[in-house]
A = this chain, B = another copy of it.
């Protein structure tokens, strides 16, 4: 038990210093390491395995909805980046520039892609000529680079990993439909597979993606009440097509501009998993993405028959789950703490007494609840226990969000909760009110939720007639 205590003490308490608690977990759970390149991280095996599981889930859903994977170059010539005015204004200040190849100075600088709209547009221009070529539903898995001033592992790094979907359609209606379809997929992945309750909505003009007509996002609330934009989906209209000269021959034989979308989810979402579910003992991973779903810990493993029984049990469970048996010399107490830190959803303890009684003890990571399960009933009972765990961590996040969601009808009420979480308040739709709120309280409009409520009749800021409800908050 000394080991366990030591391990637990080594993490800063979540309520004492949330930022330090976060970086402690990243380090102690061996999710990521720093590199000598400022703001770039190394994804370690445990962190990468979580990302691989997220990739598998997303990729299967993309393919099931007709999308195909491609790979674009990592470089964008400066002239190509500049073709869409709003887009270049948004991204040029934060890109890395390649100026030399070997010992030669390049005629034209290349930026390392911060996002790939321009490359997809160039390619679409090459391959699309008729309505029969549409739609193209493409996605790529890659890393992108944005020159960030202050960085934190997963949340904001100079390089990060993501998928970026880029689609092109015959009609605006189809493109809008695609934009919302992909938002729904993100919402489902977050709510169901990652057990993170989210808010779906549209971004304000100020907060939308550089070059987009509309940006939609799914917003999650972290344990400290701050928001984390967890994925976005953009509708471009035909703006990029016009800027890049992409046209197709329509059904009526006229030349027309196609309509585009893009959408992405990144390794940031691992930060959301940490900060939504984690506690002072470490990570709590959602079962669908946990690299180890069940850890088997033999108790008194030096006793005859214990290790053999644990191995047999592990082999059985591996048919349905990602299971690890820890046979190391470390104490059972050390192992308990270690796999709690790593967020393994269920632990199975198996000792001489259990074996004698034909049972084992299943322990949930979230509340340490114990289930004494007959060995022959284990396969039948595990799915239910795992699902209870998943629902419990979802429910806990849901309750945290509910407790940290407030309403405000004027700036005084807003001031009272500016640091506490989400604030639902009405908005007139004017940029100056949005800017005033940011200036006063350091909070931004997270989104205009699809599910609108009427908090009051007038804008929380200017008290002019309100157009819609906005959820405001501090954000990562």
Q: Chain B's nearest CB lies how many Å from the CB of A328? A: 10
Q: Is the CB of B123 within 8 A of A73?
A: no
Q: Is the CB of B98 within 8 A of A102?
A: no
Give the docked Cα–Cα distance between A77 and B143 (Å). Answer: 18
Tell me whether A442 is interfacial, beta carbon within 8 Å. Answer: no
Give the docked Cα–Cα distance between A92 and B100 (Å). Answer: 12
Tell me whether A119 is interfacial, beta carbon within 8 Å. Answer: yes
Interface size of A by CB at 8 A reads: 53
Tell me whether A16 is interfacial, beta carbon within 8 Å. Answer: no
Tell me whether A94 is interfacial, beta carbon within 8 Å. Answer: yes
Within 8 A of B (CB), among A85-105: 92-104
Q: Is the CB of A138 within 8 A of B45?
A: yes
Q: Chain B's nearest CB lies how many Å from the CB of A84? A: 15
Indicate whether A37 sits within 8 Å of B95 (C-beta atoms), given known contacts A45-B138, A49-B68: no
Q: Chain B's nearest CB lies how many Å from the CB of A17? A: 24
Indicate whether A93 sits within 8 Å of B102 (C-beta atoms), given known contacts A45-B69, A72-B42: yes
Q: Chain B's nearest CB lies how many Å from the CB of A329? A: 10
Tell me whether A159 is interfacial, beta carbon within 8 Å. Answer: yes
Indicate whether A159 sits within 8 Å of B74 (C-beta atoms), given known contacts A97-B98, A147-B101: yes
Tell me whether A52 is interfacial, beta carbon within 8 Å. Answer: yes
Q: Is the CB of A161 within 8 A of B71?
A: yes
The proximity string for A residues 112-131 relative to B, scoring 1 for CB distances below 8 Å and 0 otherwise, is: 10000001001100110000
Q: Which residues of A contact B (CB under 8 A)?
A: 33, 35-37, 40-45, 48-49, 51-52, 68-77, 80, 92-104, 110, 112, 119, 122-123, 126-127, 138, 142-143, 145, 147, 158-159, 161
25 A-B residue pairs with Cβ-Cβ distance under 8 Å, sorted by A, are A35-B73, A36-B122, A37-B110, A40-B73, A42-B70, A42-B73, A42-B119, A43-B70, A45-B68, A45-B69, A49-B68, A52-B69, A74-B112, A75-B96, A75-B159, A93-B102, A93-B103, A96-B100, A96-B101, A98-B99, A99-B99, A101-B147, A104-B147, A112-B112, A142-B143
